[in-house]
Structure 1
Amino acid sequence: MSAFAGKWVDEAAAGKYEGFDEFASKAGMTEDEVNTYRDFIGKQETIVDGDDWQYIYDFGEHKSHHKFKLNIKNPTDKDIEGNDFQITPQLNGDKEMTETVETMRNNVLVTTIMKRKIIGDGSRQEIEITHKESGAKMKGFMRKE
């Protein structure tokens, strides 16, 4: 069983993530999107069955469910805003994962690289998201519920 499996919740609202404002600006988020996400505390359930993974996201009124396979560029899916995206996830050992996500936002391709790392006793996850085109980063933490 993967250390990533289970239910996770953000330790703080997205707007409290280190580097949130610069990241949001560089990623092309509108002012309305920035204001909406600033107070979001997200929940994520990760279901693991070998190389078949699922993320079930709960951002209050916004919910989404994504199925994907490790180590391949997965088919196009829709994010919670209705944008097309493709994820290429890679497990880097038992406690580290990298997800490259290509999203079409307002007819512009935005690439983000999310690094997830299980820390401590396995009840916390460090999340670092980099906007590939600009290098802007934001960083925060999730804890197991």
Structure 2
Amino acid sequence: MITVNKWEAFSDSFEQRNTYVVGQAIIDTVKSRLAELDSLGVVLEVAALLESKRVLKPGGRLIVMSMTQYSMGLFQQIGLMYRYIKMYGNKPAGAIKLTPKGTQQYLDAAIFDDVQIEVLGDGVKALYAEAVKARR
């Protein structure tokens, strides 16, 4: 009997499903931006953002990348929501919509320095933030 690891199966179709939801152009933009970075180290899920202050060494670098509806037009947002719901169902009740201002506030509260935030993409948007854990 062949057993299939559910996380492996999820991973195999993850990019295909995300490409359907957000489109190939923003996927390519995000990949291009990440390819510019040296030594990414461990890639953590969004939930780990709260733990990043604890686990990073002073001077350690944090990269946050998330799709966002920030600065998208109304019809683009509706299309994105439709594709998301069709593919994944409703968003969890506690889902956070990241914006540049909100991300800045989270990183400031967690005492990160040298915070740089960009919104990538022309249609569907991705929020990219880079910060350094304070040496204090």
Please report the TM-score for the alignment, with normalisation by the length of structure 1. Answer: 0.26
- The higher relative CO (CA closer than 8 Å, separation ≥ 6) is in 2
Instruction: Looking at secondary structure, tell me which structure has more strand per residue.
Output: 1
Larger radius of gyration: 2
- Taking structure 2 as the reference length, what is the TM-score of the superposition? 0.27
